[in-house]
Amino acid sequence: MAMISNQLPTDELQALDAAHHMHPFTHGGELAQKGARVITRADGVWLNDSDGNRILDAMAGLWCVNIGYGRSELAQAAARQMEELPYYNTFFQTTHVPAIALSQKLAELAPDGFNQVFFAGSGSEANDTNLRMVRTYWAAKGQPERNVVISRWNAYHGSSVGSGSLGGMKGMHMQGGLPIPDIHHIDQPDWWSEGGDMTPEAFGLERARQLETAIKELGPERVAAFIAEPIQGAGGVIIPPDSYWPEVQRIVDKYGILLIADEVICGFGRTGNWFGSQTVNIRPHIMTVAKGLSSGYQPIGGSIVCDEVAEVINSVEFNHGYTYSGHPVACAVALENLRILEDEQIVQRVATETGPYLKEKFEALADHPLVGEARIVGLMGSLALTPDKKTRAAFEADAGTVGFICRERCFANNLVMRHVGDRMIISPPLVISKDEIDILIERARKSLDECLERLKADGLMKTRVAS
């Protein structure tokens, strides 16, 4: 079989890519014209591309490479497991050592009262599991009419039909017949964009209380669960006001509905604790995990389930599962990843060392003329770009126009920083050093400067007038 090696010239690789490879969340025709950037190798926080550039990956891939690239221990764990048992399933009353060991380890790392894990191949699959699990839970308790799940606009819970419906991305709902029935969305706690004249605290309470309003309108006897990311990631790193989560917890408790914390991004140290639920101080019933669970070295996700829910689900036959639920190689790699996170005290370092160091430098970017707000929790942060800080104005140009220009400047400066609309976001590998943080900030500032020049030259520093 022909090998497609890194020795081919970039333009040939790009042509082959354009001819045969359909990319996620991408306008295929536009990319084909431009040519995709070809990543060839990586180590630590650094990517190499096929043109020999060294790029600082301030997104840890897609928020997942928590321990950084190039850890040979994980490659060895995979090779060992492939030699011993490359595959067996966990259906039909069988199991294997990697799935046993990983579920036990997750029970140990998770907060008290979480002792069971249902494995999946990704975050999307795990949230599909959760949707069926919470409905099955209520049906098993004799309340089958409790099937509505409440979520939030601009949440991201995955791209399958179920998880995409749970998510609140309007662009996704516009394609392919989403959302499926009995999913209800409330507004997100994004004070910067949507808070108007309210204080952040009052706004946080208002947005939390939309949950109570929705429960009352839908009928409390119909609501199964509320799902949310402790801190929204793909939506733009939306850090809710401090008043938000305590009020949500009060409402969830009052109506006795289940709380699903989607920890796919927040989990495994991203916010300075093992789980984002600990950072925002909530008590979920189910936690969705993926990404940082294996640092992206293998595809794996899962649902960590509290005892109360697990007991009910285990009292019926739950007709659900994936060929690769608890895949032995993925489990072995995830275990080795968790060992490294623990042994090297990476989560503690985020909390006490690199997190505070990055926070100081990142928040200082708020003095830049383009940056209205710079906020960060642990190692996930966001810059809200604006033509007018005082009024928190949006740009006149379509949302995302300015963010895209800034993203292109970052790319040109060998920094991967994403844009979501006109927010710039970071989520670097948790092993980033202080020196590398300095480089990240220096490149970010340079890119912001270049973006500002471009905006001025193109007449884009204009405020949108409210219609």
Tokens 């431009």 belong to which residue? 34
Nearer to ligand PXG, 159 or 348 (CB): 159
Contact code string over 34-63 relative to ligand PXG, x by CB under 6 A: ----------------------------x-
Q: Taking CB under 6 A as the rule, does residue 156 contact ligand PXG?
A: yes
CA distances from 249 to 198, 227, 238, 243, 284 (A): 22, 12, 18, 11, 9
272: left (phi over 0), alpha (psi -120 to 50) or beta: left
Q: Taking CB under 6 A as the rule, does residue 290 contact ligand PXG?
A: yes
Q: Which of 395, 415, 365 is nearest to 456 (CA)?
A: 395
Dihedral sign from CA coordinates of 70, 72, 75, 81: negative
Interface region with ligand PXG, contact rule CB under 6 A, candidates 155-163, 278-286, 338-346, 392-400 = 155-163
d(C-alpha 362, C-alpha 380), whole Å: 10
Q: Taking CB under 6 A as the rule, does residue 265 contact ligand PXG?
A: yes
CA atoms within 13 A on the CB side of 124: 8
Tell me how far, at minimum, the Cβ of 280 lies from ligand PXG, in Å.
14
Nearer to ligand PXG, 299 or 372 (CB): 299
Tell me how far, at minimum, the Cβ of 282 lies from ligand PXG, in Å.
15
The residue count for binding ligand PXG (CB under 6 A) is: 16
Q: Taking CB under 6 A as the rule, does residue 422 contact ligand PXG?
A: no
Q: Taking CB under 6 A as the rule, does residue 284 contact ligand PXG?
A: no
Interface region with ligand PXG, contact rule CB under 6 A, candidates 47-55, 178-186, 262-270, 329-337 = 262-270
Dihedral sign from CA coordinates of 401, 405, 407, 408: positive
Nearer to ligand PXG, 116 or 298 (CB): 298
Interface region with ligand PXG, contact rule CB under 6 A, candidates 119-127, 241-249, 337-345, 396-404 = 119-127
Structure-token pair, residue 445: 């500032």
Q: Taking CB under 6 A as the rule, does residue 349 contact ligand PXG?
A: no
d(C-alpha 114, C-alpha 302), whole Å: 13
The amino acid at 282: I
Tell me how far, at minimum, the Cβ of 201 lies from ligand PXG, in Å.
25
* Chosen residue from 44, 158, 204, 269 binding ligand PXG by CB under 6 A: 158
Interface region with ligand PXG, contact rule CB under 6 A, candidates 32-40, 228-236, 364-372, 449-457 = 228-236
Tokens 């662009």 belong to which residue? 171
Structure-token pair, residue 4: 């497609």
Q: Taking CB under 6 A as the rule, does residue 120 contact ligand PXG?
A: no
Tell me how far, at minimum, the Cβ of 159 lies from ligand PXG, in Å.
6
Q: Taking CB under 6 A as the rule, does residue 123 contact ligand PXG?
A: yes
d(C-alpha 126, C-alpha 295), whole Å: 17
* Chosen residue from 71, 146, 157, 423 binding ligand PXG by CB under 6 A: 157
8-state DSSP, 317? -
Contacts of 104 (CB under 8 A, 6+ apart): none
Q: Taking CB under 6 A as the rule, does residue 229 contact ligand PXG?
A: yes
Contacts of 347 (CB under 8 A, 6+ apart): 268, 269, 272, 273, 274, 341, 430
d(C-alpha 50, C-alpha 7), whole Å: 9
Nearer to ligand PXG, 127 or 206 (CB): 127
Q: Please identify the residue of the shown chain whose CB is closest to the bound ligand PXG.
A: 123
Structure-token pair, residue 427: 């989520």
334 in Cβ contact with 294 (< 8 Å): yes
- Binding site residues, ligand PXG, CB under 6 A: 62, 122-124, 127, 156-158, 229, 233-234, 262, 264-265, 290, 301
